[in-house]
A and B are shown apart, each in its own frame.
Chain A
């Protein structure tokens, strides 16, 4: 099976702009989660989508949003970019099993490196 793919791999934006990142999950996976990784804060959970609905959300401002399409592909959007949004954005996919999902392993994509100038 093909792995999780993310596009674009690298992106440079300026403050105040907005950006959209894309994630294609592993075939058959219905859950897509997004994470932000910065040197100072490490890996932080942004949100998770399952069957086109946001099921879980981390502690990020409303400038960070996402959506999921019927084919399970997901996009995340960051509006009004700030310098501190420079980070590696990772998505991960899984089957999204219900009931706690203790064995629902997430597989990560390579990430999108966003630089805000």
Chain B
């Protein structure tokens, strides 16, 4: 079973920040939080990951709460091309990702 909970869908206006929440209340101390996104019928695309510190790369920022029970993925300036299903995953070991249902993000003009 997935160890994460995400809202099934969200809307965001183009050019605004998209904030996607994820709950992972049973996360263990050495488990990483990973984010992927999947545009219709393509392979999932890696976005970012983190353990306990906030992380930023060219695609997004990841904010992890101090107790590590939840996190937020931030797309700072959403575009129409960011419309996708976003998956928050707790990595439990090498080679195996357990996907939940994800959040379907719709970016609207």
Contacts and interface: CB of A to CB of B under 8 A. Distances in A.
- The DSSP consensus for interface residues of chain A is strand
Contacts of A100: 30, 93-94
**Size bracket of the A interface:** 20 to 34
A15 interface: no
A64 interface: no
A4 B43 contact: yes
A43 B44 contact: yes
A101 B41 contact: no
B95 A96 contact: yes
Given A102-B31, A103-B32, A96 B42 contact: no
A11 to B, nearest CB: 14
Interface string B10-36: 000000000000000000001110101
B38 to A, nearest CB: 8
B94 A45 contact: no
- The DSSP consensus for interface residues of chain B is loop
B96 interface: yes
10 contacts: A4-B43, A31-B94, A48-B94, A48-B95, A48-B96, A55-B94, A98-B94, A100-B93, A106-B95, A108-B36
Interface string B98-109: 111110000000
A106 B46 contact: yes
A104 B32 CA distance: 10
Nearest to A96: B94
Given A43-B44, A110-B43, A111-B43, A102 B32 contact: yes
A113 B91 contact: no
Given A42-B99, A94-B94, A103 B49 contact: yes
Contacts of A71: none
B107 to A, nearest CB: 22
Interface string B55-95: 00000000000000000000000000000000100010111
B97 A106 contact: yes
Given A45-B96, A96-B94, 18 more contacts: A4-B43, A43-B99, A44-B99, A50-B94, A50-B95, A55-B95, A94-B95, A98-B94, A101-B91, A102-B31, A102-B51, A103-B32, A105-B46, A108-B36, A109-B43, A111-B41, A111-B42, A111-B43
